[in-house]
């Protein structure tokens, strides 16, 4: 399967619709990736009162005087997400979204996207996952950061029991921003492919590392869906920007993964047509 690359805009739009649309356009036109992804939360539902009212842990990244106010500032409502989905269609790029609570799940299911993402924080919320299994006919993508092997098995068993495992993409992920290379543990992709490749649709990689050097290794190890955080400026306020790719980085990632996919074939015959001139000129004992 060829690599499918998702520009995770998330909340890197700073709560600005025009910035979100510009990011969609750049992802489609300049980076040439097939999908743009956002996030949907109901902060008062997904956070406890204490979590909502406490200060942001890194105040210089906050858009409000509490963590809840920060999350509210960055949130788009259901109508705005519909507008973003329509804008993605204009640029011939898929829209998708991660959902963090039941209200958000209901809102995004109603938009009928091709796929919906369950973030690492919510992958053992089986009320939420079960709602998607029952109400959403599209692909269910699941990140596996902060998740034990036992929990991963339980997630897959749950999907199988609902008859939805073949619609599932499991993403290896390390939930830190950014992640040092030594903590990416890419061989987990191979383990997921060997353990669950026959049960699910595909294996993916949600990378929070800097740069693009190891994504090719993830592809060779079996990942075919790639999610990378995307920003227009890595110095912007917000905790995800430092673990994000700017436009040229995402463009080069798409280019290199496509080149890697093109190269992953066996020779169809002993001497390739592209080699024939060189063989006639250079090969010792070439007439035998």
Domain boundaries, the chain: 4-282
Q: Percent of the chain at pLDDT above 90?
A: 93
What distance in Å separates the CA atoms of residue 9 and residue 23, rounded to the nearest whole number? 7
What distance in Å separates the CA atoms of residue 70 and residue 175, rounded to the nearest whole number? 20
- If you compute the radius of gyration of the chain from its CA atoms, what whole number of angstroms results? 21
Q: Place domain 4-282 in its CATH homologous superfamily.
A: Aldolase class I (3.20.20.70)
User: Structure pTM?
Assistant: 0.94
- Which residue, 221, 163, 213, is CA-closest to 192? 221
| pLDDT at 219 exceeding the cut of 70 | yes
Joined together, the tokens standing for residue 54 give 């406490």
* Residue 226: strand pairing partners: 5, 205
Q: Percent of the chain at pLDDT above 70?
A: 99
- Using DSSP's 3-state secondary structure scheme, residue 55 falls into coil
Cβ distance 169 to 139 under 8 Å? Answer: yes
List CB contacts of 45: < 8 A, sequence separation 6 or more: 101, 102, 103, 104
| pLDDT at 5 exceeding the cut of 90 | yes
- Give the confidence band of 134 by pLDDT, cuts at 50, 70, 90: very high
What distance in Å separates the CA atoms of residue 6 and residue 20, rounded to the nearest whole number? 15
172-205: b or e for each residue (b if 16 or more CB lie within 10 Å)?
bbbeeebbeeeebebebbbbbbebbeeebbbbbb
Joined together, the tokens standing for residue 99 give 């959902």
Average confidence (pLDDT) over 150-168: 98
**pLDDT at position 286, please?**
60
Residue with tokens 């009162």: 49
Q: Whole-number mean pLDDT of the chain? A: 96
Fill in the DSSP letter of residue 269: S
| pLDDT at 44 exceeding the cut of 60 | yes
- Give the confidence band of 275 by pLDDT, cuts at 50, 70, 90: very high
| pLDDT at 138 exceeding the cut of 90 | yes
């Amino acid at each position: 399967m060829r690599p499918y690359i998702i520009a995770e805009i998330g909340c890197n739009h700073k709560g600005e619709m025009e910035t979100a649309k510009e990011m969609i356009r750049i992802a489609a036109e300049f980076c040439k990736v097939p999908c743009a992804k956002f996030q949907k939360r109901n902060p008062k539902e997904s956070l406890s009162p204490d979590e909502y009212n406490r200060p942001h842990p890194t105040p210089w990244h906050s858009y409000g005087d509490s963590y809840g106010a920060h999350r509210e500032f960055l949130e788009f409502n259901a109508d705005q997400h519909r507008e973003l989905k329509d804008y993605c269609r204009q640029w011939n790029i898929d829209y998708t979204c991660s959902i963090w609570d039941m209200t958000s799940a209901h809102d995004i299911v109603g938009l009928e996207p091709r796929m919906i993402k369950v973030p690492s924080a919510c992958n053992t919320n089986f009320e939420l996952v079960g709602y998607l299994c029952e109400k959403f006919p599209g692909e269910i993508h699941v990140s596996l950061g902060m998740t034990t092997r036992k929990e991963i098995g339980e997630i897959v068993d749950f999907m199988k029991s609902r008859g939805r495992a073949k619609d599932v993409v499991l993403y290896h992920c390390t939930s830190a921003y950014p992640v040092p290379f030594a903590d990416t543990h890419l061989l987990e992709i191979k383990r997921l492919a060997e353990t669950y490749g026959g049960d699910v649709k595909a294996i993916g990689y949600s990378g929070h590392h800097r740069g693009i050097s190891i994504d090719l290794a993830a592809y060779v190890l079996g990942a075919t869906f790639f999610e990378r955080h995307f920003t227009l400026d890595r110095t912007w306020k917000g905790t995800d920007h430092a673990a994000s790719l700017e436009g040229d980085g995402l463009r080069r990632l798409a280019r290199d993964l496509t080149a890697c996919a093109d190269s992953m074939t066996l020779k169809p015959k002993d001497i390739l047509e592209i080699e024939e001139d060189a063989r006639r000129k250079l090969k010792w004992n070439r007439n035998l």
